[in-house]
């Protein structure tokens, strides 16, 4: 029996996921302990039970069925993104939610997964290559359709996740160095421009050299370089067109002390919480920032602060270690499966989890602006938790069927 389980179930992924979910539950209990929000904890328990059932169902799903529903699931998710714009509930300025009784469901969380399935299905075709303009544009189109709809909500945080996933799949799928550099360059120029003229010029110089070294056609290289410069110059105009709360998030990212009681409050309190724990932390349910509710709704995007304050280095390092195991296993799985489709799905889903972890912890440490990205399995939220369990369920399904072509 044990040998059968080892052959057909990826115990590393399963046990690591269970451990992360339990750490998340313990952290949410602490974050809600003195916040008069105990119903949050019990709702998360409910989502964990539902998520476990969903995970097992997807793990045991026939592999061919999973592959065959890739495009239908994608089109259904795009339809849901359209409907939510028309009939959805607006929360914190974003029309991203459907109300289902006492619960809220966010279609964009699941659209990330179906986009990976559709893109993987397209890239697995024998007549498709990312070295051609047609292949690259079709792949970009599959990703851009949901991204545009999500930006209309607007939900910039979820849209950023698509960027991390798409870039990783392009790299894994064999896109040229020039294509990868051309995708990064505009964003690097925009980020450099935010910090000032000198950083912007440094970015332009570095990427100018990189573009030159790819030895791409001169006209194409010139267009990419010009686009990069144009994006950097346009940053101020783009900034002026953002909504006030979006501008505040950028200002806070650049200088949290500029508005310490407003937009910069969460980041500053997050740094205090993480920095005050010391080596072993203040102890469970004894974190002053957590128990005195200095960070509003800490059980969502800033759940990492609970670990940082109450368990400090040991707790934070343990969680990072668990995520490292999970992500490394996803990459390994992408390398050992026989099917090109399975390999693309595995690397794409792993990239989604990795981008979530990277951005969320960066937010908590003040390294990234606050853009509303939850920490997988730890942050409170039904849609976020279910989408993460769906990802793990698919990865475990791919492991079970790793010898399928």
Residues 305-335: tens digit of each pLDDT: 877 776 767 778 889 999 999 999 999 999 9
Per-residue confidence band for 258, with pLDDT thresholds at 50, 70 and 90: low
Taking CB atoms within 8 Å and a gap of at least 24, the contacts of 208-212 are 210/181, 210/185, 211/178, 211/181, 211/182, 211/185
Phi-psi region of 366 (alpha: psi -120 to 50; beta: other; left: phi over 0): left
Whether residue 262 is predicted with pLDDT greater than 60 in this model: the reply is: no
Residues 1-10: tens digit of each pLDDT: 666 666 667 8
Q: What is the average per-residue pLDDT within 230-255? A: 74
Whether residue 271 is predicted with pLDDT greater than 90 in this model: the reply is: no
Confidence (pLDDT) at 254: 66
Domain ranges of the chain: 7-173+241-400
Contact 180, 171 (CB under 8 A): yes
DSSP string, 124-177: TSTT--TTSHHHHHHHHHHHHHHHHHHHTTT-HHHHHHHHHHHHHHHHHTT--H
Q: Over pLDDT 90: what percentage of the chain? A: 36
Q: Count CB atoms within 10 A of the CB of residue 118.
A: 23
Name residue 104's beta-bridge partners: 99
Residue 38 CB partners (closer than 8 Å, separation 6+)? 32
Confidence (pLDDT) at 261: 54
Residues 51-99: tens digit of each pLDDT: 999 999 999 898 889 889 999 999 999 999 999 988 878 776 777 878 7
**Rounded Cα–Cα distance for residues 353 and 355 (Å):** 6
3-class SS string, 323-367? HHHHHHHHHHHHHHCCCHHHHHHHHHHHHHHHHHHHHHHHHHCCC
- Give the distance, in angstroms, between the CA of residue 205 and the centroid of all CA atoms in the same chain: 30
């Amino acid at each position: 029996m044990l040998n059968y389980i080892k052959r057909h179930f990826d115990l590393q992924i399963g046990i690591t996921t269970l451990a992360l979910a339990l750490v998340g539950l313990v952290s949410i209990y602490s974050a809600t302990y003195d916040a008069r929000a105990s119903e949050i904890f019990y709702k998360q328990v409910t989502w964990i039970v539902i998520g476990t059932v969903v995970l097992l169902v997807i793990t045991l799903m026939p592999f061919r069925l999973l592959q065959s529903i890739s495009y239908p699931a994608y089109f259904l998710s795009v339809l849901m993104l359209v409907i939510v714009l028309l009939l959805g509930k607006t929360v914190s300025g974003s029309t991203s939610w459907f109300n289902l009784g006492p619960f809220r469901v966010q279609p964009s969380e699941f659209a990330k997964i179906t986009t990976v399935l559709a893109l993987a299905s397209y890239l697995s075709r024998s007549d498709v290559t990312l070295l051609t303009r047609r292949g690259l544009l079709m792949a970009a189109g599959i990703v851009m359709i949901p991204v545009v709809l999500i930006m209309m909500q607007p939900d910039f945080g979820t849209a950023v996740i698509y960027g991390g996933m798409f870039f990783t799949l392009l790299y894994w799928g064999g896109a040229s160095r020039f294509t990868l550099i051309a995708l990064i360059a505009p964003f690097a120029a925009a980020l450099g421009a935010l910090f000032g003229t000198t950083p912007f010029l440094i970015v332009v110089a570095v990427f100018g050299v990189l573009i030159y070294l790819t030895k791409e056609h001169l006209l194409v290289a010139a267009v990419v370089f010009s686009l990069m410069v144009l994006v950097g110059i346009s940053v101020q105009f783009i900034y002026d067109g953002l909504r006030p709360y979006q501008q505040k998030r950028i200002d806070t990212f650049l200088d949290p002390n500029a508005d310490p009681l407003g937009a910069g409050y969460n980041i500053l309190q997050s740094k205090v919480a993480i920095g005050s724990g010391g080596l072993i932390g203040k102890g469970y349910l004894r974190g002053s920032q957590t128990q005195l509710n200095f960070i509003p709704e800490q059980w969502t995007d800033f759940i990492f602060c609970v670990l940082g304050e109450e368990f400090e280095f040991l707790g934070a390092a343990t969680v990072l270690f668990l995520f490292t195991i999970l992500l490394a296993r996803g990459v390994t799985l992408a390398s050992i499966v026989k099917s090109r489709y399975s390999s693309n799905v595995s690397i794409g889903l792993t990239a989604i989890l990795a981008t979530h972890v990277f951005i969320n912890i960066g937010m908590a440490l003040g390294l990234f602006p606050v853009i509303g990205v939850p920490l997988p399995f730890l942050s409170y939220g039904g849609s976020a938790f279910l989408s993460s369990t769906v990802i793990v369920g698919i990865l475990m399904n791919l492991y079970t069927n790793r010898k399928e072509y």
